[in-house]
Structures are given as structure tokens and as C-alpha cells.
Structure 1
Amino acid sequence: MTGGHCRSRIGVLIVAFALSVLCVVADTDNNKITKPCQDTTVKKYDGFTFGLVIAKNESFFTKGKNPVQLSPCDKRLTNLNSGQVAVFRPKVDEISLLIINSSSVNPQNFGGNAVVFAGSKFAAVSAPIFLANNTYRVTSLSLVLNFEKGRLIQILWKNDKCKSCSGSNSTIVCLKGGQCAVKSSKCKESGGTTDCSLSIQTAFSGTDKYDDVLNTWYQVDKLQQYSLYALYSNLKSTLSQFNLFF
């Protein structure tokens, strides 16, 4: 797939929070590419920029009898008339928790579905995933960025088939796709008490440009899907100074 630049008609939301749970490494970030619609190759601990678009599901496909999914960077994708773009830059092969605050963006207002994307000539884009509608709101996802010799080749959504919410109270339900979701009526934006901010647990697999193995997905796979979000929530509620940032 080929592509140009992210189009200006899409509202852009820069989300600056990334919670790393691995040890801090002193390596310098040598990746100078900071826009998601540009190609790059990376090594371990470089920053890597990708985007997430929230829009209607049909917006991610070409029009016509045989619709084809394209990257949001692709100028041929004319259906993406409105939506929100979140831009993230986690460090390669560190586990990060990326947060989209529900007080800033309610996915339901922009179509309720999302894709993750990066690259232009070597574009990669995830399958669309459900985030929200009038009834349910997904608040936690796991994302794997798969690299080959430092170039992103695949973006995958992962879930634990609702093991994380098994036996939970009536506020949380298991959707057909294997995702845990909150009833929209329970979210703060709807007058409820639940923080329905979207958290994306992000990890890496494959190899960097020096053929070093990226293995944080293996570590995430051994953790419960909601472990990082639980840590974030506990820190947020326990440490009052965090309110300055969240």
C-alpha cells in the first residue's frame, strides 16, 4: 500500500502518556522520524511513532462493490471524512500503557471503531476494532507491533477471550469478539461512576534493524491483559499529585 501524509481534515489528538514497566535503558533514541505517515527502520529503545484513528468502520475501506482496507495515510482512502487521530511514540521493545482520556475523546462520538497505522510506502495497518456504541464501551486493549529487520510489517490486536472479566459484576460484559467492555450507561460521561478512558497495552515482536530479537510481547502474554491498567488506576487514585498529569 502506498500513502501520503496524514490529512489535515482529521482532528489530531496528541496523547502524551506512556507508562513503561521495564527497566529504563540509557540508549539514545536515534529514530528521527516523528510522523506516523513516514517510513523508518528502528533498533531497540528507539522511539517509534504510530497513529490510531477513531472513525466509522466503513471509513477504513475504499468505496465500491469490492471494498479494500487501506492505511489512513493513503490518499485513495476518501471515506475518512471525520474522526480523531491519536499519535503515540513508545520505545521499541518496552511495554507501554497508552491512555486516551475519555473526558477528551468519547469514541462513540467519532464512529466507535479504530485502526492503528504507520508507514507510507511500507504501510502497515491493523484490522478495525470496536471501541464503543450506545450500549458498550471497550476500555482496555492489547496491541502488538511486529517488526522484521527494524521495519514494521504487521499490527495485531490481542485479547484474552474475556478471561480478565470472567465472573465480574454486571457492569462488565464479554463481547462477541472476546473483549471485555463496560456498559456505556456506567461511564462518567453518561452520568455513571466508571472511568471509561481507553488504555492500550503495547508490546513488540520480531527483530530490530540489527536483528536483535524483540520479545516484550512474550512478556505481555504471560501477564493478565488488565494488569498495566490496574497499576495505572491504582497509582492515579493513590497519589494525589498524579492529578496534575491525568
Structure 2
Amino acid sequence: MKLFSGIRGPRLGTKLMLLGFALLVIPWLSYLQLTEMERLLIQSRENVQLLLARGISTLFNGRDDLFNDLPVSYPVEYEPLYVHPLTTSVRLDGYPGDWGSVLMEKAQHFGPVSADGSFDLLMAERNDQLYIYLNIFDDQRVYRSPGYLRLDTADHVRINFFETNGTDGRITLTLHEPGVASAYRMSNDWRFAATGAPPANEVQGSIAETETGYGVEFRLPLSMMGSRRGFAVAFADVDNQESREIRSVVQTLPKGDKESFNL
């Protein structure tokens, strides 16, 4: 009689159960290992980014001068509009004397030099307000007549920017006479004030007559503009008192481009 002849191994069902258990446990252990590796990689990347941010912060600490004269965002093919820091208060009277001679030398010219309808543009920022001065060359001043509902029948300034909700903001500064300027939110064709739109009371400005045309000075809160800070200014020149047709529009963005705000 052979010893242990009556002892048998696990039954087939038991073997299948053990095999199934192993097939379940091994993938689960592999998943745990992959999850832990992913966590370690993410933590390592976060540490690298934190060290990089600290290095950049240390580099720019106390270097406010590096952020002066930053351009408003613009496509590569466009000339940038520079916004300068304004260190003193400015009275909105249409005269640039309180801007300072140093800032005035940084004005940008748009249009043929000293040509009818061209203008010098100076932009500055103070207390979350964007200040703008326009020295407009115009040999025939045509002020708005109260008898016209359309706002494009006289010399006027057009302001275009991206609203905080991403829509296209359009505001016209009408030139009634020397003194306080009136601002209106405009329709898409720049002819009439937008129906149902609130008055643009947050845009404040003034007009003065100069030897060569107009001095237009105004400000608007930076909070009006969205994160893209796309911004454009144009002067629409009307020379004929009878027809009151726009002779030319000089703008800070080129014509015919989809990103030129249809100025």
C-alpha cells in the first residue's frame, strides 16, 4: 500500500477560483502602482514650476520699470499702441500742458505727417483709468448740429475695444463745440446711437480748438475692456458744412482687415 495515495490536490473549481482571484488582484496592484507614479510625477512637476515661479518673482522684484511702456495687445502686423504711466493728475480740458513734456515726446502719429485728418496720439494710465490725448490736424472744423440725429455728420472720434464679455464695444465722442465732449455707444454702422444702449457716461472728455485743428482729451475706466485689451482710435473728418459727408477716416488699425474693428 502506497503512502499518501489517497491525498488529492485542489479541485478544478478551486483552481479556477484561485486563478480568477490572481487575474483580479494583479491588474489592481498594477493600477495602484501607476496611480502612485502619476502622483509622484505631478508633484515633481509642481515643485519645478514653483521653483521657476519663485525665480521669476525674485528676478522682477522691485523692477517696476520693466513694465513701463507696455503695448496694448495687437496683431504682429499692426503698430502697437503704447500706454505710459501717468504720475500726476490730469485735468480734462483739451490741453496737454499737464501731461508733461517728457510724455508729449512719446506721442505716436497716425496718417500722413500734419495732413488734414491725421492726429498725434498719447495714451497713459493712472488709477485704473486710461487717459488719451489726441492732437488732431483739421483745416476745416465742422461741429455737430443739433438738427441731425445721425452722429456721423460732423467731425468725431471713434473708440473701439473689446468689452468684458468679449463683444465689440463702439463709442463715439461727438464734437459739439469747445468744452465738454459727449460720448455715445454706437450701432454697427457708426451712424446712430445704439438702440437701448446705456449712455457712455463713464467716458469723460473735453475738446479745445488749436491752431491746427482740435485737442481732444478723454479718459475711460480700464474695467470697461476685456482681458484681450484690443483697442483702436479713429478720427472721422467732415469738411463740407452742406453735404456733411465723411471725407476721410484716419485710424490706428489698417482698413479691410477682420480685426480692424470695422473702423
TM normalised by structure 1 equals 0.30
TM normalised by structure 2 equals 0.28
The one of the two structures with greater contact order (alpha-carbon pairs below 8 A, sep at least 6) is 1
Q: Which has the higher helix share?
A: 2
> Rg: which structure is higher?
2
